[in-house]
Structure 1
C-alpha cells in the first residue's frame, strides 16, 4: 500500500458519497462543503422535483438540508448537477489513488500536451509539472502561493474545496461579495447593496463585521460548546429511553404477578392491558427516537462544521470565513428550532401498575387494571443549556414562552371597508374592499402604504390566498364563487371565475400539489392546474363556509376553525390530531402559521392569541387593537413574522417577537 492509498483509507469517510456510500465518482461539492457523486446528486435533484410535482427553483443538500440554488436560474433541471462546483482536490486524490497512471499537469493538458504533475498549488487548485511550477513561482502574484509535492495532496487533504464558497456576487459575477444585509440575511456586492438594500436599516461591510465581532476568533470553541451540550442532551434522551423500557418491563411483570391465580379467566383482559402498554411504549419510543435522531444529526453536522472551520480559518479568506459562519448559524438555528419544538417541553414519566379493586368480581371485570402514568415538568431543562450555547453563537431560538407582540404602525385607507388581505411576495399587500358594488381589490406597497393600482371584482370578497409557486391569487366570496388571478409584476392579470366550484367556500391554503379549501361541512381540495381540475372531498368537518373561517397548513397538518368556535388540527388526509377550545378564544375566524411553527389566532371580538402547534400552549398577545375597531381579517408575512389586522378604513401592523 503506497502513501496515497494509506491516506485515502484513513479518511475513507471523507471520500465516500453520503448518498450511495461508495467512493466518490466525479465529485461535486455544494456551498455547504458536502461532496457527492455527480450522478447521485443529479438523481437526488430529479427526485426532489418529482416529489414536489412542480417546477423547483432550488434544492436542499441531502446531508444538512441547506438550500442550494443553481448557478444559472434558467438552466434545465437535468443540467443543474453538471454545473455544480467540481471538487478538484478530491478528484485529484482519487485520480492518484486509482490505477498506475500518473496525474497529468493540468496547465499542459489545456494546450494538448502531456507531462507528469510533480507539484500542487493550494491556492490555484491545480497540479503542475516541473516546468510549469517553475514559471508559476516566478510570477509576482503567484510566488506567495502554498505549493506542496503532489504526493502530499493525498496525505494532507480532507477533501474540502473552498472554491465552492464563492466570493463573487451571483448578480454581478465580476464583483466580490463585500456587504451583508442583516434585514434580509443576504451577502452581496456593493452594487447590489446600492440597488436592492438602500432602504434597509442594517447593512455593513463584511470586513467590518468580521473584525468587530469576536465570534469569528472563537468559532471552534463555540462549536465545541454546542457539540458538548448536544451530546449531553443526547445521552439524557438515551437514558430516558432506557428508563422507559425498564419501567415498562417492570410494570408488565407486576401485572403478570397480579393475575397469576386467575389467569384462565383473565387472559383476554391481560392481553388488552399489554396492548395498551405496548402502544404507550411504542409512542414513547417513537417520540424519543425522533429526538435522538435529531440530536445525532446535529452532532454529525457540528463535527462537519468543525472540520470545515479548521480549513476555512487556515486556508480561506475573510469573506469565506464570514459566509461559512453565516451558513453554520443558519444550519444550527434550523436544527435547534426543530429541537425546541420537540424537546422544549421535557417531562419525567413514571409508569406503574394500578390494580383493579373490583377484581374479586371477575365476571364483571373487562380489564385487569390501568396504566398509571405521572407526567411532570423536569426540574432541569437540558435543552435550555443547548440554547444558551447557541445564543453565545449569536443564534436566537424562538420559544413559545417568550412570545410577545409589538405595535409597529397603522395604515389608513380613507373611504374603504377592508374585509380581507394577503401579503404578496416581499413588497405588496392585496386588500379586499367591500365599500362599493362591485368590490375592489387594492394592491398596496407594504412599506409606504400607498395604493399602486385597483382591480374591480364582481364577487362579494371574503378571503384571499396567494400561492407563491404559481404567483397566483385565489379569492373566495360570500356567494358561491371562487376566483383566481395571476400576479404579474405590480398588477393582477384578468380575474377568472373557477367554474368547477358550486359550493359556499371559505379560507384556503396550499400543501404539496393541492389547494385545500373549507366548504360547508368538509375540507375539499383541487389541483391548481391550467385549467384547474375538479374539486374533490378530502375529509368531513364541522365547519361552515357561509360565514368567516380560517385555515393554515404546516408540515402535513391542517389547522382550521369550526362552527363550535374551536381550533382543530388534522392530518392532510383527515386524521384528527387535537381540538383546542377555551373561554378566552370566543370567536376565532382567521388563523396563520408563523415561520417558527406557532399558530396565530384572530378573534373576531378583537383579540389576538398564540397557540403552539401541538395545541398544548396558549398565550393571549393582544386584547385590543390600535385603530381597528371592527376587525374582519388577519394575515401574516411569514418572511418577517409581521401581523396585519384589517377592518374598516384601517390596518394595524404588529411584529411577533421572542424574548
Structure 2
C-alpha cells in the first residue's frame, strides 16, 4: 500500500509540474483540472489536502494549485512567484502608429481590442476600436467634441466616454454608434476621468467625485460622493481598486490619493520623480501604476505599493519618448496599454527575475 501511494504521489507531482509549464503562459485564458482515477486514489491524504473534482477559473495555473494543495506542500514551490509591487516589470510587445489621430484616452474592451478616444484633424471627437493583433481598425464613431477618457465595463459590456465641454456618453452597441448623453454642456461643470465598479459609474467633476448607478443611466442624474482636490481643465486619473474597494485619483498637486468609496482618505503618494500624474492603472493584486506625463518625462511609468508607502520606476521611457496620456490593464492584467498622442504601445506585464524594491 505504501509503495502504491508513493508511486501515485510521484505521478501526481509530475503531472502538475508539467501542466504548470504549459498553463503559466499569457496565451492561456482558461483551464480546467479534473480528478482522474489516479488523483482519486490519494484525495484524502493529509499531505495533499482535499481535492476538488472540477475547478474552472480564468486564472494562472498557480491559482489552481493553491486551491488543491495546502500552503506548505512542496508542489507550490514549483510555481512562479506571484506578481507584486516589488517584482513587476514591463516588456515591450508592440507599437501601433495612429497617424493623425490625437489620443487622449483608451481602454481594453477584449483580450485583443482597445478603444482609443480623442480627435482627428482638430475637428470634433472620435473613438476607434483597434485589433492589436493585426493592428486593423474595427469600427469608429464620431462625437460632438474631443473625447477625454474612456471606461469599459466588462460585466455589462458598456463603454462610457467622458468628453470636453462637460459632455458624457454611454455607448449602447458594439459599433458605438448608438449613444445616450449622460451629461450635457449646459451643466456648466467640467468632467474628467471615469471608471466603473459593481454596477456604478464614477466620474471626477471639477473638485468632486460623483457617481451614477447603471440602473439610473436613463435619468442622467449624478450623485455626489465626496469632495476631492482635483481639477478637470486638463486630463486626470481615476481608478478603482476592486480588491479593497478603494478609489484612487490624481490630485491637482500631482499626488495619487487613495480613498474609500465614501471619501475617507487612506493615503496620499507623491515623490520627486513623479512630476505630473494624470493617469492610473490598478492591478488586481493591489499595486498601482501611474504615468508621469510632465514635459521631459519621456513617458516614464512608476509603481506604487499597495499601502502607498513605497514607489519605484518600472519604465524609464516609452519606446517613442512621447508624453503619456493614459494607461490601462487588460481584463486579466496580463498586458498594459500605453496611450500616447499618436501611438499605442502594448507592454507585457511580467515578473522581474531579480526584483527591485526601490
TM-score scaled by structure 2? 0.77
Aligned residues: 316
**Please, which moves more after superposition, 536-545 or 623-632?**
623-632
Considering fraction of residues, name the structure with more helix.
1
Residues 1:429 and 2:114 are matched in the alignment = yes
Q: Is the 8 A contact 2:255 2:277 kept in 1?
A: yes
Which of 170, 175, 196 matches 1:484?
Answer: 170
Residues 1:493 and 2:177 are matched in the alignment = yes
The structure number with the bigger radius of gyration is 1
Which of 216, 223, 238 matches 1:536?
Answer: 223
CA displacement at 1:392 relative to structure 2:
2.6
With over 3 angstroms needed to count, the CA separation of the structure-2 counterparts of 1:543 and 1:303, relative to structure 1, is same
Q: 1:483 and 1:557 mapped to 2: Cα distance?
A: 24
Residues 1:403 and 2:92 are matched in the alignment = no
Measured against aligned partners, the alpha-carbon deviations of 1:122-141 in whole angstroms (never above 9, x if no partner) come to xxxxxxxxxxxxxxxxxxxx
Q: 2:49 and 2:72 mapped to 1: Cα distance?
A: 18
CA displacement at 1:552 relative to structure 2:
1.1
Measured against aligned partners, the alpha-carbon deviations of 1:311-353 in whole angstroms (never above 9, x if no partner) come to x7xxxxxxx7x989x99942555899xxxxxxxxxxxxxxxxx
Q: 2:147 and 2:315 mapped to 1: Cα distance?
A: 27
With over 3 angstroms needed to count, the CA separation of the structure-2 counterparts of 1:433 and 1:620, relative to structure 1, is same
Considering fraction of residues, name the structure with more strand.
2
User: Match of 2:100?
Assistant: 415
Residues 1:330 and 2:72 are matched in the alignment = no
Q: 1:219 and 1:615 mapped to 2: Cα distance?
A: 44
User: Match of 2:77?
Assistant: 392
CA displacement at 1:433 relative to structure 2:
3.4
Q: Which runs of 5+ in 2 are unaligned?
A: 1-21, 353-358
Q: Which runs of 5+ in 1 are unaligned?
A: 1-178, 189-205, 225-301, 313-319, 337-385
Relative contact order, higher structure (CA 8 A, sep 6+): 2
User: Match of 1:583?
Assistant: 272
SS at match of 1:392: helix
CA displacement at 1:181 relative to structure 2:
9.7
Measured against aligned partners, the alpha-carbon deviations of 1:139-160 in whole angstroms (never above 9, x if no partner) come to xxxxxxxxxxxxxxxxxxxxxx
Q: Which runs of 4+ in 1 moved over 6 A?
A: 215-223
Q: 1:511 and 1:451 mapped to 2: Cα distance?
A: 28
Q: Is the 8 A contact 2:291 2:324 kept in 1?
A: no
Q: Is the 8 A contact 2:167 2:184 kept in 1?
A: no
User: Match of 2:238?
Assistant: 551
**Please, which moves more after superposition, 629-638 or 593-602?**
629-638
Measured against aligned partners, the alpha-carbon deviations of 1:216-240 in whole angstroms (never above 9, x if no partner) come to 899879983xxxxxxxxxxxxxxxx
TM-score scaled by structure 1? 0.44
CA displacement at 1:500 relative to structure 2:
6.6
Measured against aligned partners, the alpha-carbon deviations of 1:8-60 in whole angstroms (never above 9, x if no partner) come to xxxxxxxxxxxxxxxxxxxxxxxxxxxxxxxxxxxxxxxxxxxxxxxxxxxxx
Coordinate RMSD, CA, aligned: 3.5
User: Match of 1:41?
Assistant: none
